[in-house]
Structure 1
Amino acid sequence: MSEKQANENIYDRFAQVTKQTRDLVDNMEQLQNQVTELLEQNAELSIENDHLRRVIKKMKDKNGESKLSGSRQNLKELYQQGFHVCSEYFGKRLAPGESCAFCTDVIFGHDPDKAK
């Protein structure tokens, strides 16, 4: 091989490697753009998901599936521990297996504040 052919061969190989490197950089930039788009979409979906959870919770609250207020929750826990929470027998122990309609009305009954 002559020196001229060797130089041309090296130049051709260098040009080929340069082209491959540019192609690789282009591919990496495309991948980076796709990853950025996916991360943005993921963030938007997470925000939307949180918003939908709040809307569903509000809908459940309006349909009567709401949680008890703190004070009513405390009364419910006392009742489940076996104590009356009604004004008639407040603080007295329930007999085993006994239930009290007055107590359940105090805990789960109509809330005058919600009627407003």
Structure 2
Amino acid sequence: MSEQKANENIYDRFAQVTKQTRELVANMEQLQNQITEVLEQNVELSIENDHLRQAIKKMKNVNGEPQLSGSRQNLKELYQQGFHVCSEYFGKRLAPGESCAFCTDVIFGHDPDQAK
């Protein structure tokens, strides 16, 4: 009888493992569905982000502001903070209300990269 009980115990354990495996598979399918949703949402947001960037770029072009390279944008920010960016006076403080034609030429002057 103990052999029969051992066989039943093995069968019960096998049934339990089978049930756990099915539950695990169900959980994995749920996770897979959630991952798919997140990835789809990520793609949608990336596309929307690109569209927004393009719209902002067009808005800047419509306002007539020249598109500045990153380095020229940095120079513009330094100039707006009150520092010369021209080679003549680079790094020196602008007097309150002072403007510098050399600095503005450096920032907004002819950009060889835009000629391409």
Report if TM-score (shorter chain) is over 0.5. Answer: yes
Separation in 2, partners of 1:99, 1:40: 51
Aligned equivalent of 2:13: 13
Q: Letter of the aligned partner of 2:15 in structure 1?
A: A
* Distance verdict in 2 for CA 1:9–1:62, change over 3 Å: same
1:99–1:11 CA distance, 2 compared to 1 (3 A): closer
Residue number in structure 1 paired with 2:31:
31
1:64 CA drift (Å): 1.9
C-alpha displacement of 1:99: 4.6
**Aligned counterparts, 1:27-106, within 5 A:** 27-67=27-67, 99=101
- How far apart are the structure 1 equivalents of 2:40 and 2:12? 42
Shift of 1:60: 1.1
Deviation at 1:62, TM superposition (A): 1.0
> Counterpart amino acid of 1:64?
G
In structure 1, the residue corresponding to 2:64 is in which secondary structure? coil
**TM-score computed with the length of structure 2 as normaliser:** 0.57
CA offsets per residue over residues 6-55 of structure 1, 9 Å max, x none? 11111100000000011111111111111111111100100000000000
Unaligned runs of 5+ in 2: 69-85, 89-99, 111-116
Report runs of 4+ in structure 1 exceeding 6 Å deviation: none
Work out the CA distance in 2 between the residues paired with 1:66 and 1:51: 20
C-alpha distance in 2 between matches for 1:20 and 1:48: 42
TM-score (norm. length: structure 1): 0.57
Distance 1:38 1:14 in 2: 36
Percent of paired sites with the same residue: 71
